[in-house]
Amino acid sequence: MPGFEFFGAEERKEVNDVLETGILMRYGFDGPRKGMWKAKELEKTLSDRLGCAYAQLTSSGTTALTTAMAALGIGAGDEVIMPSFTFVASVEAVLSVGAVPVVADVDETLTLRPDSVRAAITPRTKCIMPVHMCGSMADLEALLAICKQHNLLLLEDACQSTGATWRGRSLGTVGNAGTLSFDFVKTVTCGEGGAVLTNDQYVFEKCDQFTDHGHDHKGVDRGADEHPYLGYNFRISELHAAVGLAQLRKLDRFLEIQRRNQQALHAILATVPEITFRTVPDPAGDSGTFLSWFLPTADITQAVVEGFRAAGILPGNFYWFNNNWHYVRKWHHLKEGHSLYALSPEQLDAMEVIRHQDFSVSDAVMSRCISTAISLSWTDAQLQEKGAAMVSVIQSVLSRAGATA
């Protein structure tokens, strides 16, 4: 799954280019950098490879989300509908611009359930934010129709799905804006980093300014730049961009290997009749970073997880239902408003709503789900061995469950 598995000479070459100039900052120092502009080159390569007009690099996927919301005009009191299954950074970013998170259920796509989204819309709703979790996509056809009907923004959190597509379009390029993450365990890594993708020039210009303290970047003297808007230091460094540039050039190779290994593991697990698989709106566009699958009941799934642990094969198999960071069930710090700075009354009210909200629909999905991370480095023999070990545990658990039924 993560690009760090194929870290090598290409990344070192790009980093050494930067080290030889000594210019680690992405802006300024035009002479000493000797024509080296790794961040600019990565932005151009991203937009070309993913098929969008503009890409703005940031320091992380989280700051990319904050930047995109600011550029889209999402702010104090605006409601943003997001899924119950996502990394907690999605909520943090909503809170960071003063907006209000509204959490909706997921279905077997592991992303937003359209009926739950419709039920969550109020006069204060400004944006729907699908999170394309685990390498695959939300039901974008349904969500785009909802946005059109209610005149809402669509912001795609594609931080876990670099390279995935929907009907031939890269995830993150379908809505008003989208975001990617390049942290260490993402498909393409910069070590740390992120990006905002958009086809809207106005949105891009605001992202460009917002990520650099509001600099308008229109002059040749950085110190004389105008500052039309408030901004923050969300810049990526040239070193991080250099790593990402080498990684992005390998993306097609990553995707080919991931998809092949995912399909092979799918074939192994499909020999167990009781296993079903994640719903993928566009199977051809799945990036293959995970294979997500379901067992008949929560009790059976939890027994399989324990069986994997006992057999030493739990690493790489994620049971999100008990995960502290990726599912609403364990977001106690958010539900109780544990913030180092004062949240607005509207945000605190939203936390109280989430704390008492009925997520039984999401629970019914997530309590039966295991996501298996797909490694780029598996040999065919290792993949077959892993699959066989998983099937052995699963069949043992199912056999015991059948005997006690």
> In this structure, which amino acid lies at residue 143?
L
- Concatenating the DSSP letter of every residue in 113-141 gives -HHHHHHH--TTEEEE--B-GGG----HH
On whether the CB atoms of residues 391 and 272 are closer than 8 A, the answer is: yes
In the sheet with 100-104, reading across from the earlier edge strand, the strands are 54-58, 194-198, 177-181, 153-157, 125-128, 79-83, 100-104
The region that residue 36 occupies, defined by phi over 0 for left and psi between -120 and 50 for alpha, beta otherwise, is: beta
Name the one residue in this structure whose structure tokens are 């020999």.
271
- Which spans in 22-107 are helix H? 38-50, 61-71, 89-96
From the list 126, 186, 250, 335, the catalytic residue is 186
Residue 24 tokens read as 């680690």
CB 103 within 8 A of CB 328: yes
Pairing of strands 125-128, 153-157: parallel
Report the alpha-carbon distance of residue 376 to residue 164 in Å, rounded.
16
Contact 402, 274 (CB under 8 A): no
On whether the CB atoms of residues 1 and 187 are closer than 8 A, the answer is yes
Can you list the alpha helix ranges (DSSP code H) found in 111-231?
114-120, 140-150, 201-210
How far is the C-alpha of 37 from the C-alpha of 379, rounded, in Å?
37
> Could you give the angle at the alpha carbon of 245 between the alpha carbons of 226 and 317, nearest 5°?
115
Answer yes or no: 330 catalytic. Answer: no
As annotated, the active-site residues are: 186
